[in-house]
Structure formats: structure tokens, C-alpha cells
A and B are shown apart, each in its own frame.
Chain A
Amino acid sequence: EAQVTQNPRYLITVTGKKLTVTCSQNMNHEYMSWYRQDPGLGLRQIYYSMNVEVTDKGDVPEGYKVSRKEKRNFPLILESPSPNQTSLYFCASSAGGVPTEAFFGQGTRLTVV
């Protein structure tokens, strides 16, 4: 089954404690991206990757890091999480190196206290 898998689905952490949210896709897609979803603000793009070793900033990259060492995985790293990073995070992937016909993961709800 074609899917984008995020882990964990739920996470509560404390300010300053580094964390990683993993994202893996099994469709051999070139393009992967991370979004955060906040009430009243919709989906905002954090980072995207058009292929292995190619990443670029989206609209809200501050406080986040990503890496794309292999095609299937695109982890989101919060080096020093802060409460304003409490949000619902989605990973997405699509073929062809552009975000057309993107598949989304189920989401990761992060709470930073």
C-alpha cells in the first residue's frame, strides 16, 4: 500500500530537548515536504526537498532542520524546541520532484511545554 508514514503520532516534550520526527514514503517519490498546521493559519510549509541531498526553505523554516540522505526518508529535527512550535505536523511526498499530486502522512501532534 502506497503511504507516507510519520512517527511518532503524538509527542509531548519539554523546551530545549532535541527531537526528531521521522517521515518515510514507499513510493520512490523524489519530492518530500514538511508542513505545520495551526488553527486559523492553515498549512504552512517548513522545508521541502526536490531530491536526495537537495533541500530548501519553505515559509516558516526558523527553528527546524531537515536532511535528505536517502530518497525514502525526510526527518524533521527540532534542535531546541520552544512552546511556539507546538503544532500538528504533516509530511508529504510526490513524484517528479515537484509537489503535484502530493500524498500526506497522518500527522504528528507535538506539544512543547
Chain B
Amino acid sequence: GENVEQHPSTLSVQEGDSAVIKCTYSDSASNYFPWYKQELGKGPQLIIDIRSNVGEKKDQRIAVTLNKTAKHFSLHITETQPEDSAVYFCAALLVRGQGNLIFGKGTKLSVKP
């Protein structure tokens, strides 16, 4: 079946450094790619998303890039802060049925002060 692969599974950076998380997807017709942040004991929260007609999107310290040809997209966090520590999930919306959102397995990001 369709899947989304996410790397790395864990990432540790020093405060102020950048963090990059990468995802690849299998359904070439996927057209929506959100990123979620999940803090301990809470539900996932949308932090940024991108649609297939856009190559890059930025929101303050967070950016997402999409390469449709290679079927991969990445999350970039600059000037990381301790409060960025969380689990991050990427996802891809399958065109089939339009309601099936496939998630990656998550990246645990630790930002050390």
C-alpha cells in the first residue's frame, strides 16, 4: 500500500542550530503535505503544510520544501529553541478517496540548551 517514510527517527541538536527532517511518499498523485508537532501527553498540532502546486513555504522559523519529482518533502527549523523539543510527524494526503491521510512514523527532536 501507499506509505510515507520519515527520517531520522531521532534528532538531537544544540539550541540555536537548525534541524531538518525528511519524508518521502509513494503516491505520486498526493497533493497535500502537513507537518504536525506532538508534545508529551498532547494531541498532534499542525505547524505548517504545503500543497503540490508550491515548492516552498515559510512561517517564521519553520519552512517546508517539496520536490514533487523526487516525491520528497522536508521540514526545516532554524534557530532551534528548547520548546521545539517534541515528536514531529509528516503526512501525505492520498488522492484516492481524498480522505486518507498517511503519516510517517515520527521524529523525536531534542534541543539541548
- Chain A residues in the interface with B (C-beta under 8 A): 4, 31, 33, 35, 40-45, 48-50, 56, 58-59, 90, 92, 97-107
Interface size class of B (residues with CB under 8 A): 20 to 34
Report Cα–Cα, A99/B44, bound state, in Å: 13
Q: Which 7 A-B pairs have the closest CB atoms?
A: A104-B43, A42-B105, A43-B103, A48-B99, A99-B101, A104-B44, A42-B103
Report Cα–Cα, A40/B103, bound state, in Å: 12
Tell whether B42 is near chain A: CB-to-CB under 8 Å: yes
Is B49 within 8 A of A59, CB to CB?
no
Q: Which secondary structure dominates where chain A touches chain B? A: strand
B residues within 8 A CB of A48? Answer: 99-101
B residues within 8 A CB of A49? Answer: 99
Q: Which listed residue, A42, A102, A107, touches B104 by the CB 8 Å rule?
A: A42
Is A107 within 8 A of B100, CB to CB?
no
A interface footprint on B63-106 (CB within 8 Å = 1, 0 otherwise) = 00000000000000000000000000101010001111111111
